[in-house]
Amino acid sequence: MIIGNGLLAGSLKDFDREDCVFLASGVSDSKCSDIVEFQREEKLVKEEVLKHPGKKIIFFSTFSINDPVMNHNMYVESKLSLEEFISQNCEQFLIVRISNLVGKGGNPKTVFNFFISNIVNGNSFSLWASSVRNLIMVEDFARILNFILEHEWDDWKNSIVNIVNAKSYSAGEIVASIESFTGKKADYELVDIVSNPRYEDEHAAYLFRKLNIETDEYLQRILQSYYQEYQSAGLTFKTVSTK
Assign residue 58 the CATH number of its domain. Answer: 3.40.50.720
Q: Distance (Å, rounded) from C-alpha 121 to C-alpha 52?
A: 46
Model confidence, pTM: 0.89
Domain tally for the chain? 1
User: In this predicted structure, what is the pLDDT of residue 138?
Assistant: 95
User: For residue 42, is it within any domain?
Assistant: yes
Specify the DSSP element, H or E, that contains 51: helix 35-51
Can you say whether the dihedral through the CA atoms of 181, 8, 56, 37 is positive or negative? Answer: positive
Residues of the chain with pLDDT under 70: 105-106, 198-200, 228-243
Phi, psi of 16 (to 5 degrees): -60, 145
Q: Which helix (H) or strand (E) holds 192?
A: strand 187-195
Domain assignment present for residue 51? The answer is yes
How far apart are the C-alpha atoms of 96 and 204, rounded to whole Å? 12
- Per-residue model confidence (pLDDT) at position 57: 98
pLDDT value for 219: 93
Residue pLDDT, tens place only, 168-197 = 999 999 999 999 998 999 999 998 887 877
Residue 203 has phi, psi (to 5 degrees) of -65, -40
* pLDDT computed for residue 97 by the predictor: 95
pLDDT of residue 192: 83
**pLDDT recorded at residue 27:** 87
Instruction: Report the alpha-carbon angle 221-226-232, nearest 5.
Output: 115
Residue 239 in domain: no
Is 84 inside any structural domain? Answer: yes
Cβ-count burial 93-116 (b if 16+ within 10 Å, e if not):
bbbbbbbbbbbeebbebbbbbbbb
Whether residue 222 lies inside any domain: the answer is yes
DSSP letter (8 states) at residue 64: G
The pLDDT of residue 243: 34
| Distance (Å, whole) CA 59 – CA 149 | 13
User: Is 119 part of a structural domain of the chain?
Assistant: yes
Percent composition of the chain: helix, strand, coil (DSSP 3-state, to 5): 45, 20, 35
Separation of alpha carbons 236 and 88, rounded Å:
45
157 and 87 Cβ atoms separated by less than 8 Å: no
Which residues lie below 8 Å from residue 186, measured CB to CB, with a gap of 6+? 115, 118, 119, 125, 127, 175, 178, 179
Could you tell me if residue 240 is inside a domain? no
Position 96 scores a pLDDT of: 97
Residue 41 lies in a domain: yes
Q: Which domain holds residue 128?
A: 2-232
Q: What is the pLDDT of residue 235?
A: 43
